[in-house]
A and B are shown apart, each in its own frame.
Chain A
Amino acid sequence: MAGAANVELVAVSKRYGSTVAVDGVDLRIPAGSYCCLLGPSGCGKTSTLRMISGHEEVSDGDILLGSRNITDLAPAKRSTAMMFQSYALFPHLDCVDNVAFSLTMKGVGRATRRKRAMELLARLHMDGFADRLPGQLSGGQQQRVALARALITDPSVLLLDEPLSALDPFLRLQVREELKVLQAQLGITFIHVTHSQEEAMALASLVVVMNQGRIEQVGEPQAVFNRPASVFVARFIGGYNLLPARGDDQAGAIAMPGGAPPGDAHVAVRADRIRLAAAPPQPGHGACEATGLVKTIEYLGLMVKVGVEIDDGLRLSVMLPEERYLAHPVALGMRVSAAWARDDMHVMTH
């Protein structure tokens, strides 16, 4: 393997005509990290990945890999390898020839390249399918072949474009684990584009949340989850209740201890930090509590999700561990009070 390398994006932009897909992105991905570019569709994450791979021209800025500026290099000269969303396996070639394709292009002899390809296939437990055509493989098997084909080029960075989206949910979890194990074994940098926050949390050592062509937040999964930098991030990664903040006595909002911050502020409260209790009938809510009616109950197995409509129309989602729910069950239409610790409130002004 060529060894891991830092990837650095310096003020990288991508424009298509007058639309800006990626807007002056600065990002440093340390060598050997598993980086997930996370965001809704159209946020610029795929464009960013494709610029790193060299399949999309950079409109502005520079991309560095290690100490080399790779901004204008051909895709195959960057020591990056791309795994395409639909895997893009050559339908007319069997697995060995698919994996050996880059060696064929380099003019490596048939025996040598087949041997190397078989090694890679064996590493991904696909050596038993060597002479199958891609059309005869399942989605998960195709994905392994695509991985082997990308890895045979000895990349220092592997680029994965929504690699799990074509798999069924059960297989997705299994392959997700395998990807992480593989990355740890290889020690090279993985850059993985996804719109699933769950996937990003599970895989990444570095999460990059993007929105409208810009980076909203970069950090370890735990940091991003516990300290979302913006309302968008809190909303996108989920698990938070976002309530409009207000000064005293304003309806349809949450009162802020010590007065409301200026502008359009929100309070974020983690859904699993809220406690529910049977409430006295009088309406109203204070800084760290609110009363309302239970509107929905979803049993999710480990957790039970309870939707509470607070008296002035706000909605709260509460995640209760099954155990606690069973100890203090609530019922639809029941009047409850929801309370949380002051430390579990985050104020966000953007």
Chain B
Amino acid sequence: MESVHRSLIGRNGAPPLERSAASRRSRRRRFALAPYLQIAPLAATLLVFLVVPIAAVIAVSFWDYDTARLIPAFIFTNYHDLLVDPITWDTYLQTISVAFLTWALTLAIGFTVAYFLAFHVRSKAWQTVLFLVCTVPFWTSNIIRMIAWIPFLGRNGLLNQALLHFGLIRQPLEFLLFSNFAVVLAYVHLFTLFMVVPIFNSMMRIDRALLEAARDLGASGRQSLWHVIIPLTKPGIAIGTIFILTIVMGDFVTVSVMSGGQRASVALMMVNAMSLLQYPAAAANAVVLLAIVLGIVGALVRIVDIRKEL
């Protein structure tokens, strides 16, 4: 700043000391304002759409309520009620285990698909075509993709009928639909692409000469995968993990459709609370969920440096 200031004065040909202090100050202020104006649009957007809503949720989580009203207050009852209720713990456990299963499966499938696209498909054209094929499921809505599973997985669904027909089972399999299995299956179906994209992106940045170097130094295909590709794909895996975790932890539609209302999730708890107008209870739950997800993401970012992918 100072040097810019000086050089400007120097260019005008006037020695700095002859300038009045007032004009120097105004010049400095004008320069100092510019960067703030430049970040103002983004800052305003984030303020209105991120900071204010979260602040509101946090504030309301300390409010009191009765059957008909929200009462501004600063009480910890909502958190206390939430944390002493064993159902809360069960639900969190259920949600986290479903999220973990979904994460493990999407990671395995997503990594394989990305690996195939990045290292086995040689031509750029085919890469693009196959990548577009991966997005085909996204051409219809989430709900339709979920509901499409129901006639397939149901008690008298296609899968059970086929298995019965070939004599592989005697009784229809009950766990296929309205179960954790169905929920995880739907998640994997819906969200694997969110794992494929960042991992593929990471893989495409790996210099192919590194794989040749590994081969030159005696690495087998499996060793190259373990010692070169996976370490260099970690940022992509971390980003995919963040996508999957945040989506699954906050979801309630898939859970209610695919479990037929028989399974709970943290977000469903909030929906139920809100339908009873217990907004402060739902807000407290939301704050706890936010803290947990942020904790996981924070831990992940500490382990893996994702900045170079952004």
Contacts and interface: CB of A to CB of B under 8 A. Distances in A.
Interface of A: 53-55, 74-76, 81-82, 84-86, 88-92, 101-102, 104-106, 149-150, 153
A91 B231 CA distance: 10
A55 B217 contact: no
Given A75-B212, A76-B215, A105-B218, 20 more contacts: A53-B216, A54-B216, A75-B215, A76-B216, A76-B217, A82-B213, A84-B209, A84-B212, A86-B209, A88-B213, A89-B213, A90-B210, A90-B214, A91-B210, A102-B217, A104-B227, A105-B214, A106-B218, A149-B213, A153-B218
Contacts of A102: 217-218
Q: Contact residue range for chain B?
A: 10 to 19
B232 interface: yes
B128 interface: no
B207 interface: yes
Contacts of A104: 227
Contact of B228 (A85, A90, A150): A90
Contact of A88 (B212, B219, B232): B212
Contact of A86 (B207, B216, B217, B219): B207
Closest 10 CB pairs of A and B: A76-B218, A102-B217, A88-B213, A88-B209, A105-B218, A92-B231, A75-B216, A82-B216, A105-B219, A84-B209
B223 interface: yes
A265 B227 CA distance: 58
Interface in B227-247: 227-228, 231-232
A54 B216 CA distance: 8
Nearest to A53: B216
Contacts of A53: 216
B207 A55 contact: no
B256 to A, nearest CB: 43
A101 B217 contact: yes
B218 A88 contact: no
B202 to A, nearest CB: 12
A88 B210 contact: yes
Contacts of B219: 76, 101, 105
A55 B212 contact: yes
5 contacts: A75-B215, A76-B216, A88-B213, A92-B231, A105-B218
A84 B232 contact: no
A84 B231 contact: no
Dominant secondary structure of chain B at its interface with chain A: helix
Interface in B198-216: 207, 209-210, 212-216
A161 to B, nearest CB: 9
Contacts of A153: 217-218
A82 B207 CA distance: 16
A55 B216 contact: yes
B220 to A, nearest CB: 8
Given A101-B227, A104-B227, A84 B213 contact: yes
Contacts of A149: 213, 217
A84 B210 CA distance: 9
Contact of A55 (B215, B220, B223): B215
Nearest to A146: B213
Contacts of A74: 215
Interface in B271-303: none
Nearest to B206: A91
Contacts of B228: 90
A84 B211 CA distance: 11
B209 A92 contact: no
Contacts of B217: 76, 81, 101-102, 105, 149, 153
A184 B61 CA distance: 76
A148 to B, nearest CB: 12
Contacts of B223: 105
Nearest to B220: A105
Nearest to A99: B217
Contacts of B231: 92
Contacts of B215: 55, 74-76
A104 B217 CA distance: 10
Given A55-B215, A82-B216, A102-B217, A88 B207 contact: yes
